[in-house]
Amino acid sequence: MAVVDARAAFTVDRFAAGPMNIQRVETTGTGLNTCHPGAQMAHMDANAPELLDRAQDALHFKNWLYLNLTGIRATDPSKASFTFDNFRTRAYDDDVITALGWESCRHLLPPIIDGGQVTHPLTAVAARRTGLGGRDARDTGLSRHGDDGTVCRYARRSGRRGLFDGRLDRGASACGR
């Protein structure tokens, strides 16, 4: 399912009206939205459970991209808190997972890592295909860090359209040019 997929709208409404919603919101620090994996996967579980039975992972797009670039299955605290974790502990929360009916699918959730502390190198294949990494893929580390919206807001406040180091050949943009 894509982030913009709204088929889970009725599922979100059902959870919002449910008895565990207030506790879930207080724990995660966020309301549930159709773009959040918990709602999408609950919708899948109700309407196409065979998809979840065959799934190996439940990943946000940037977690999937990180997996393909580094070979590491991981998420960051900001993405995890959108659905399943306690923002105070930065760990998955059993009560939240239960509130979303996800006990049997918990194994699909990737480990939460702090991208400010942990980076992973590109795989040799990713380095070759992207042209990054110089002679050694270990030259280019990736970090699972921060929410897309946070990066975009930072770029907007800085008066620039992205983050860069002053040279024309390096930079990162979440906003485009």
How much is the mean pLDDT over the chain?
A: 77
Dihedral sign for Cα atoms in the order 37, 38, 39, 45: positive
pTM: 0.72
Whole-angstrom CA distances from 88 to 81, 91, 139 are 10, 8, 34
Higher pLDDT, 3 or 175: 3
Predicted local distance difference test score (pLDDT) of residue 165: 47
Q: Which tokens in the block code for residue 30?
A: 């966020």
Residues above pLDDT 90, as percent of the chain: 8
Share of the chain above pLDDT 70, in %: 73
Within 10 A of 174 (CB to CB), how many other CB atoms are there?
A: 18
51-100 tens-digit pLDDT? 888 989 888 888 888 899 999 999 888 777 677 888 888 899 999 888 88
With cut-offs at 50, 70 and 90, classify the pLDDT of residue 145. Answer: low
Return the pLDDT at 50.
Answer: 92
Residue 164, pLDDT score = 45
